[in-house]
Amino acid sequence: AHIWRGVINEYADLLPAHLTEKTVTLGEGGTPLVAARRLNELTGAEVYLKVEGMNPTGSFKDRGMTAAISAAAARGAKVVVCASTGNTSASAAAYATAAGMTCAVLVPDGKIAMGKLSQAIAHGATLLQVDGNFDDCLVAARKLAEAYPVELVNSVNPDRIEGQKTASFEVVDALGSAPDIHALPVGNAGNITAYWKGYREYLAAGRIDRLPQMWGFQAAGAAPIVKGHPIDAPETIATAIRIGNPASWAQAEAARDESGGVIEAVTDDEILAAHRILSAEVGVFVEPASAAGAAGLLKRAEQGLVPAGARVVITVTGHGLKDPQWALRGADGSEVTPQRISADVVSIADALGL
Ligand code: F0G
């Protein structure tokens, strides 16, 4: 039997050697690539979801964090820090714990989904809510790591990108080729950078003979790359990607341009509509930010911009349980509450219309 050993061990030949000195893993990666027939019907394409909510802490961040924490361990680091909209903090806290390190996280004031906050606390991180947004947190975390004996584990740390690029390898290993289009949400832009690096390295290694187009989607109220300038006060219900000045901005533009792809904006309404389709019509529960890739694909399909039969992979980046409040609303925004009923089979059958 093959036991999945985490992304560093599985892809050691395509990763820097320093990651294998003191590997810290929680068994991340090896996530499902799910055929989404309902999305085929809606787009005319052949659509697969890379379900990154299946990682140990419920988001794709674990791929990068195993690498960042392993590198920190090899250097003998004792303390790590990150800025986060939530998922990075949950992941950093878990991997730091596994490595016996202390973890500090800087999160924006009041805009973190409860599931993520509780993960960071459960794993014993020191959580500081900064009076500012994510971009302010990242500036502070970078300065802290420059001036104090603390390792920065945000995606500006190149080891994070190395770990995250393994998702491209898995997509190709599952499909047997590169997709025509790879769609995903864009926040701080580390993930689109990592996927593009992964695909290019598989091309160089002769594992694929062509590259996908990279289609990135930002939330309309937090779309600096689309607008062409930083956004001072980014706003979106997709708090994970509520970012106004992405650290990997230039790399995201390179991925877009070199691949012949796009980076476009989707509104909160479009994100929530896609979120609903994924959960209620496909069967995959994701957090709102994670639905941005599907929202973008659906939007471009409506505009006639998705070639018939194109093979599309959408990365759904984080689990729905991270931020479940959005499921408890009807399409009109009203609160959904369970119907109360007596423990009587006839009444229950009645309520079910049987
Ligand atoms: N989806 C989710 C669920 C995320 O948590 C993030 C980023 C993204 C998409 C965007 O990825 O930043 O690489 O472009 N979350 C970071 C965090 C910022 O702090 O957890 P990106």
Q: State the distance from the centre of ligand 1 to the C-alpha of 347, rounded, in angstroms.
A: 45
Look up the pTM and report it.
0.97
- DSSP letter (8 states) at residue 281: I
Token reading at 146? 């420059």
- What pLDDT does 16 receive? 98
- What pLDDT does 110 receive? 79
Query: Which fold is adopted by the domain 7-59+160-328?
Result: Rossmann fold (3.40.50)
Give whole-number Cα distances, 22 to 62, 250, 273, in Å.
16, 32, 43
Q: What is the mean pLDDT of residues 118-132?
A: 97
Strand partners, 48: 35, 313
Strand partners, 130: 108
Mean pLDDT across the chain, nearest whole number? Answer: 97
Give per-residue pLDDT as tens, 196-210. Answer: 999 999 999 999 999
In the chain, what are the domain boundaries?
Answer: 7-59+160-328, 61-157
Model confidence band, residue 336 (pLDDT cutoffs 50, 70, 90): confident
The yes/no answer to whether this complex scores an ipTM above 0.95 is yes
Strand partners, 216: 184, 263
Q: Do domains 7-59+160-328 and 61-157 have the same CATH topology?
A: yes
Token reading at 91? 């992941």
CATH of domain 61-157: 3.40.50.1100
Q: State the distance from the centre of ligand 1 to the C-alpha of 84, rounded, in angstroms.
A: 8
Which has more pLDDT, 331 or 172? Answer: 172
**Taking CB atoms and a 6 Å cutoff, what residues make up the pocket around ligand 1?**
59, 61, 84-88, 155, 185-191, 240-241, 287, 289-290, 317-318
31: Cβ contacts below 8 Å, ≥ 6 apart: 50, 51, 52, 54, 55, 167, 170
Q: State the distance from the centre of ligand 1 to the C-alpha of 185, rounded, in angstroms.
A: 8
Token reading at 174? 């599952």
Give per-residue pLDDT as tens, 51-66. Answer: 999 999 999 999 999 9
2: burial class by Cβ within 10 Å (0-12, 13-18, 19+)? Answer: exposed
- Residue reference for tokens 């973008």: 296
Model confidence band, residue 149 (pLDDT cutoffs 50, 70, 90): very high
